[in-house]
Amino acid sequence: MVPAIGFGTYRLTGEQAYKAVQQALEIGYRHIDTAAFYENERDVGRAIKDSGLAREDIYVTTKIWYDRLEDVEASLEESLERLGLDHVDLALIHWPSPNDDVPMEAYLEGLNQARERGLTREIGVSNFTIAHLEKALTLPAGKHIVTNQVEVHPYLANRALVNFCEQKGIKVTAFMPLASGKVMDDDVLQDIGNKHDATAADVALAWLSQRDIAIIPSSSKPKHQQSNFDAIRISLSAEDMTRIDELNRGERIANPSMAPDWDT
């Protein structure tokens, strides 16, 4: 099961990634999220090893990039070598195949075979739309999908997709939960934060958590890591939640050229 909060490592590389993961584990994070594309798996793995924590106490997620969808198992094996682990807890397809060049049947079956081999305990997807999920759920491997990791934050509530996932029993994991820092300067979030002795970022994370969405905020600063970690303890009122809901403007940050046709 995907933990309620994890530590994201996107844009962290080298010694910065190593120290950030070490700090996060010291604070109490027990879910570390990485990806082959981030080029930091060796640093993440080194930090996990040096933490002194038991392997079974840390939930590790990595992702297979879209250029490796024809050899998913080999890609995951390479990730494990870099991480210095014999398995991860969750392996995700990072992006659906652009233009469906690689059949979904093939890459999801490859991911499920990796699960059956013990290379990962659980499998999931990332950046899948409702249409992608509908197709995935018709496939044998689809019944094993535990999460869809997608962009969700106060400016992109992603309601239709989130509701679909909830109906199908698929946990939503939010990446970029702070909208790449944009939430920090939001007057509404700051006002709500003042009521709870919290920051605007804390409020954004609490809003996601109260929607039963897992979060993977990222920061290299211990103070911010701690604040993010504590945010899920904040209890927002119904009025607070409504005010944050009203910030939604469909603002998408992660929208590369190979992105699918997003749900509205």
- Residue ranges of domains in the chain, CATH in brackets: 7-179+213-220 (3.20.20.100)
State percent of the chain over pLDDT 90: 99
Residue 257, CA distances (Å) to 69, 104, 260, 261, 263 in order: 17, 19, 9, 11, 16
Task: Output b/e per residue, 12-26; b: 16+ Cβ within 10 A.
Answer: beeeebbebbbbbbe
pLDDT for the residue numbered 244? 98
Residue 31 pairs with which residues in a beta bridge?
A: 59
Residue 186 exposure: Cα atoms within 13 Å on the Cβ side: 25
What pLDDT does 264 receive? 80
pLDDT surpasses 90 at 49: yes
Q: How many CB atoms lie within 10 A of CB 110?
A: 22
Active site residue 66: no
Q: What's the whole-number mean pLDDT along residues 150-171?
A: 98
For the entire predicted model, the pTM comes to 0.97
Determine the pLDDT at residue 129.
98
The answer to whether 45 and 244 are in contact (CB under 8 A) is: no
pLDDT by residue (tens digit) across 72-114?
Answer: 999 999 999 999 999 999 999 999 999 999 999 999 999 999 9
Phi and psi at 51, nearest 5°, equal: -70, -25
Q: Which of 130, 168, 124 is nearest to 149 (CA)?
A: 124
Kindly report the average pLDDT of the chain as a whole number: 98
Tokens coding 70:
């024809």
- Helices (H), ranges, 51-178: 72-83, 104-116, 130-136, 159-167
Computed on alpha carbons and rounded to an integer, the radius of gyration of the chain in Å comes to: 18
Instruction: Indicate which residue of 29, 38, 59, 66 is catalytic.
Output: 38
Which distant-in-sequence residues (6+ apart) come within 8 Å of 218 by Cβ? 7, 8, 9, 10, 11, 12, 20
pLDDT of residue 14: 97
Rounded Cα gap, residues 230 and 2, in angstroms: 18
Given a contact cutoff of 8 angstroms between Cβ atoms, the answer to whether 73 and 117 are in contact is yes
